[in-house]
Structure 1
């Protein structure tokens, strides 16, 4: 049975991990016969958004504590992730990836990445273990993998150009499909960069998890 690590970035599309993408990842992995363990960095969120109004709130939240909501409490700090214990890795999307795990939401092509996350991902890559990046998470690929690694965030030209400038090679992709870089063992799918419903998001994520397990 394959064991997959999932790295979350909070709870909620606008300031953390995209909840539907995170849950669909867990569901499809389980249905495909794999086990998973969630992780998240024990750091403060960049900011907190009221998901009802879209307005920023004057409060602080912890990425690990918020991610625990999605994982039903079964989660570990990113610092506890031992690559040797897992066959593959998944990073669901959501603005937490672009605000908490990196500065992509603010700096685009000049963005930086949270170094402990970069280290963990590169350890998976060095051991030739596959990684799936969902939604906006492929914006991290240029920080982690060799120049030219294939990636997709769907078809948004401005975001795609920033992905290219960071060193990845963007490939346009429909919501129900995936892009695979077989050499680097990197899988990406647009999910809610394009999805108009949870069913839409599910199609590409299911394919991505199938490919991830096959590659592992």
Structure 2
């Protein structure tokens, strides 16, 4: 039976949603290993960014609809997903992870996490099911599990400001290289920096692939 892996998306595009290279890297790495992929996103309205000018767009967009572009239309509202449907959970990065899944982009360590995202992370953690997070997304686990008293260990690469924010959320930070992963065995977390570094798509894929491999191993899959 295929391992069931939830992939939490936050829109479509690095500046206001999921980072597309990271999301696709995760999806390819999962498919390569025969995982059953369940894409999901919150059904919320969020400000959009013009990716050509990097200026705010006049129109807001629905995160679920934008995420459906990456998922090729096969996607669910995260509010309807329960941990007992999944064996593992994945979060690609992109500013959407810090703006739409939580408010880290504006509120830093005092950020709030989308209630359905928070619920699912806590359900997975309680069940001992692994969670993989890439790029800036590890701040979500730092906030949720740090607040829960679990003292998670994550990486966002080597950026001192973001690492300091992670520690302010009652989590530990471990510096890692662009293709490295950080494994918190106690909390069943695997994190990798991806585009938190100035790197290219191939480097991003290598880190995402290692993260997926380890998460599936922790979920009991054969890589």
My pick for the range that moved more, 147-156 or 128-137, is 147-156
Rounded Cα–Cα distance in structure 2 between residues aligned with 1:82 and 1:106 = 28
Deviations 1:177-208 (A, max 9, x none): 10000011001000110151100101111100
Q: Distance in 2 between matches of 1:170 and 1:76?
A: 32
Aligned equivalents of 2:48, 2:144: Cα separation in 1: 27
Work out whether 1:58 is the aligned partner of 2:61: no
Q: Are the structure 2 counterparts of residues 141 and 172 from structure 1 closer, same or farther at C-alpha, using a change threshold of 3 Å?
A: same
For residues 82-111 of structure 1, the C-alpha deviation after alignment (integer angstroms, 9 at most, x for no partner) is: 211210000110000111111100111121
Any residues of structure 2 matched to 1:51-200 within 5 Å, and which?
51-145=51-145, 146-200=149-203
RMSD of aligned alpha carbons: 0.9
CA contact (8 A) 1:195 1:201 kept: no
CA–CA distance in structure 2, aligned partners of residues 37 and 208 of structure 1? 17
Superposition deviation, residue 68 in structure 1: 0.2
Report the equivalent of 1:34. Answer: 35
The TM-score, its normalising length taken from structure 1, stands at 0.97
Inter-partner Cα distance in structure 1 for 2:114 and 2:171: 18
| Matches of 1:143 and 1:52, distance apart in 2 | 32
Aligned to 1:205: 208
| 1:8-43 C-alpha deviation (Å, 9 max, x unpaired) | 000000000111111110100011121111000000
Unaligned runs of 5+ in 1: none
Aligned to 2:11: 10
Structure 2 unmatched runs, 5+: none
Which residue number corresponds to residue 21 of structure 1? 22
CA–CA distance in structure 2, aligned partners of residues 190 and 23 of structure 1? 15
How many residues end up aligned between the 2 structures? 215
Deviation at 1:147, TM superposition (A): 4.1
Deviating 4+ runs (over 4 angstroms): none
TM-score, structure 2 as length reference = 0.94
C-alpha distance in 2, partners of 1:33/1:74?
17
Partners in 2 of 1:189 and 1:87 — Cα distance?
20
Offset, 1:60: 1.1
